[in-house]
Amino acid sequence: GNKAKPDFIGLGIEMKTLPLNAQGQPKESTYVCTVSMQQTGELRWQESWIKQKLSHVLWVPVEADNSIPLAERYIGQAFLWKPSMVQEAVLQRDWNELMDRIVLGEQDEITAKEGEYLQIRPKAANSHARAMGISSSGLKTKINPKGFYLRATFTRTLLVHG
């Protein structure tokens, strides 16, 4: 969900479905949590929502073919994952770079091409939805809500290596 805490608070585990295409590969990037667009001052990875969410994840692979009724789709073998030191370092670097842009009021200039494992993309029911953010001049302004997503290229490695 959108809370700063993992889905299973007592266990410290976040659950994420991993939609797979017909070839058993991730169909799309995976939504993790919303991006707070009103961040200012010093930010710390260790205190971030996304760090809390990705510290321990129960991945549930799911067949994502829309032509198959939901009740008939296969659910794959779920697996627990904790980021390795290398994976966490890359996630932290991506988060730092992306959040620096948010703090500088550059939200509207961030593209989905930025970040190696982690990307920021619009997260709204439609393009007319707006949330409060900070402009490059430091003033509050309405902007398109955004979310953190894990790239499909990254989640594909989790299927192979866990």
Note the pLDDT of residue 32: 94
* Strand pairing report for 131-134 and 57-63: unpaired
Note the pLDDT of residue 130: 56
Strand ranges (DSSP E) for the chain? 14-20, 30-34, 57-63, 79-81, 118-122, 131-134, 140-143, 146-150
Note the pLDDT of residue 140: 64
| Phi, psi of 158, rounded to the nearest 5 degrees | -70, -35
Note the pLDDT of residue 136: 55
Structure tokens that stand for 95 in this block? 């988060």
**Whole-prediction pTM:** 0.84
Question: Which residues are paired to 79 by β-bridges?
Answer: 59
Q: What is the dihedral sign for C-alpha 80, 161, 154, 66?
A: negative
Note the pLDDT of residue 108: 79
Q: What one-letter code names the amino acid at 150?
A: L
What is the fold, at CATH topology level, of the domain defined by 14-161?
A: ECO RV Endonuclease; Chain A (3.40.600)
3-class SS of residue 137:
coil
- Judge residue 36's burial from the number of C-beta atoms within 10 Å of its C-beta, 0-12 exposed, 13-18 middle, 19 or more buried: middle
Question: For the CA atoms of 28, 33, 35, 40, what is the dihedral angle to 10 degrees?
Answer: -140
Note the pLDDT of residue 38: 58
Q: What parts of the chain have a pLDDT lower than 50?
A: none
Note the pLDDT of residue 124: 59
Domain ranges of the chain: 14-161
